[in-house]
Amino acid sequence: MKNEQKSPDKSLDLQQEIELLKQQNVALLEQLKQRDALVEHYEEQFRLLKKKLFGSSSEKNIVVPEQLNLFNEAEITADDKVDEPSVEEITYTRRKSKMTKKENLEALVTDTFVHDLSDEQKICPDCNSQMQQAKEEKRYEIKVIPAKVEVIKHITPVYVCNSCDGNDFHTNFAKSREYEPVLPKSSAGAETLAWLMEQKYSLAMPLNRIEQQFKQLDIVLSRQTLSNWLMKTAEIYVEPLYRYMHQELVSKKHIHADETVLQVLNEPGRTAKQNSYMWMFRTGRGSPPIVVYDYQTTRAAKHPVNFLAGYSGVLQVDGYAGYNKLQSSSVKLAGCWAHYPRYIIIRGIFNNAS
């Protein structure tokens, strides 16, 4: 009889416990949902922070159409079919002063002004004695003067022999060869090209901003015109220098080589997310520093092999196996102390794991 009286109580306790567990389960699920949302939020914040600190500001992140990749912007926007403006004024405004300390400004002094007293003012007002100089107060004043704007007009008379005109369809012409433009069929001056290349490649200034600088001076020069100038300058003047530096590089007995990844926009047959590689080759100690870059779309070993064809000496590289194809009787591969400790550490880890 006692067992029959206790059965309803046990059943009731069990049902209450089940209900309590259900409530706890619902509460735990809600806490888990909130925690998952919080974790997702923190993960997104971490990704954004990591991208800001270590991510590349490459062209794949660009959302403004006018902002182009700085690496191959000239190649993209150059267009030989675009004519230059009929009337152009080539000029620039450049304000640059890096020296701020007095001890560094002395070498840059161009004018010196002495603000002295007159002889009458050097007489003491109390005793009428001649006052003696006690010290000098020096102040270095940085004066920024915008570059002088000049438009040079070149006139070259062309002479013709009228006596030969019409005889055997041959006419003699003559003109002075003392003046030749830096770029044929262009109004760009050498100073303008030097400034343009400095702005574009040394200061990483996009061409659309340079275009806006010209517009502020009421000068209409499109990005296509600026790109054409850069491409023609590279073709006529930079490429021969590059070939000469490459020839001098492979004649040395010690060369460093390395490659780094980059991404390029609007490359034929490739997407913007595909990796390209910039190979860097540099002379070692004991010779004038020569640094030459070689752009390639892959990291294949054939690229350094082709670039260093005919080289004989020591090639110092990292542990990339692609350089092994350069190893020969005339080329000796050498590592560096920066990579060797990594090899020792990794080798020790694998040995301990095995």
C-alpha distances in Å from residue 82, one per residue of 77, 79, 86, 182, 226:
10, 6, 12, 19, 11
Q: Which residues contact 92 (CB under 8 A, 6 or more apart)?
A: 147, 192, 195, 213
Q: Identify residue 294 by its one-letter amino acid code.
A: D
- Beta strands at 331-334 and 313-316: parallel, antiparallel or unpaired: parallel
Beta bridge mates, 333: 315
Closest CA to 334 of 232, 274, 267, 256: 256
pTM of the model: 0.57
Q: Which residues contact 156 (CB under 8 A, 6 or more apart)?
A: 175, 176, 179
What are the domain boundaries of the chain?
66-95+151-249, 252-353
Q: Domain 252-353's class?
A: alpha beta
Task: State phi, psi for 121 to the nearest 5 degrees.
Answer: -75, -15
Write out the DSSP string of 234-269.
Answer: IIIIIHHHHHHHHHHHTTSSEEEEEEEEEE-SS-TT
If one counts every other C-beta atom within 10 angstroms of the C-beta of residue 286, the result is: 8
Q: Contact at 8 Å (CB) between 293 and 257?
A: no
Can you say how many angstroms the Cα of residue 238 is from the centroid of all Cα atoms in its chain?
18
Task: State phi, psi for 202 to the nearest 5 degrees.
Answer: -85, -40
Cα gap 80→227, rounded to integer Å: 9
Q: What is the pLDDT along the chain (354 residues), one digit of tens a residue?
A: 444 555 556 677 888 888 888 889 999 999 998 998 888 888 888 888 877 776 655 444 444 444 344 567 777 777 777 666 554 444 545 554 454 555 578 888 888 989 998 999 988 888 888 989 888 888 888 777 766 667 788 888 888 887 776 566 677 788 888 888 889 888 888 888 999 999 999 988 999 999 998 888 778 889 999 999 999 999 999 999 999 999 999 999 999 999 999 888 888 888 888 899 999 999 988 778 999 999 999 999 999 999 999 999 999 998 888 899 998 889 999 887 777 776 676 666 666 665
Can you say how many angstroms the Cα of residue 117 is from the centroid of all Cα atoms in its chain?
53
